[in-house]
Amino acid sequence: MRNTLIKILCAVAFWPMLSLANDTANSQSSVIDPLALYARTVYPEDAQTVGDAARYLLEPSGYTLVTSYPAPSDAITIVNSRIPPIAKIHRTMPIIDALQLLIGNDNWIVIDRNHKLVSFSEKKS
């Protein structure tokens, strides 16, 4: 009888911690950044520009590449440039890293997470 009572008291004492651990696990699993997911940098043959390759990478993530308003005015220049040879090497990497490789280290990725928009800029904004 005494052992049963101790077990019940322990269960009651630890119950709130178990439910808190479950809530924390659920909230963390629902916050996955789609741009951190891995993608293969094997682009379709018809992808000739940075914009073509970026759209291809962004398609499964739910993000959209934007080159007109509200995008920076210099985004169109970056998007229309040719894919650099370093970005044509086949590998697996996070989408955000593949985008940075496409535009080069001198340019910036502009992300609107609320509206799921991505653009590029030559200047830090």
Sequence-separated (6 or more) residues with CB below 8 Å from residue 42: 90
CA 67 to chain CA centroid, Å, is: 19
Phi, psi (degrees; rounded to nearest 5) at 77: -65, -45
Residue 58, token pair as written in the block: 């962004």
DSSP letter (8 states) at residue 70: T
Question: Measured on CA atoms in the order 49, 54, 57, 63, is the torsion positive or negative?
Answer: negative
- pLDDT tens per residue across span 56-114: 999 999 999 999 888 889 999 999 999 999 999 999 999 999 999 999 999 999 999 99
User: What is the reported pTM?
Assistant: 0.74
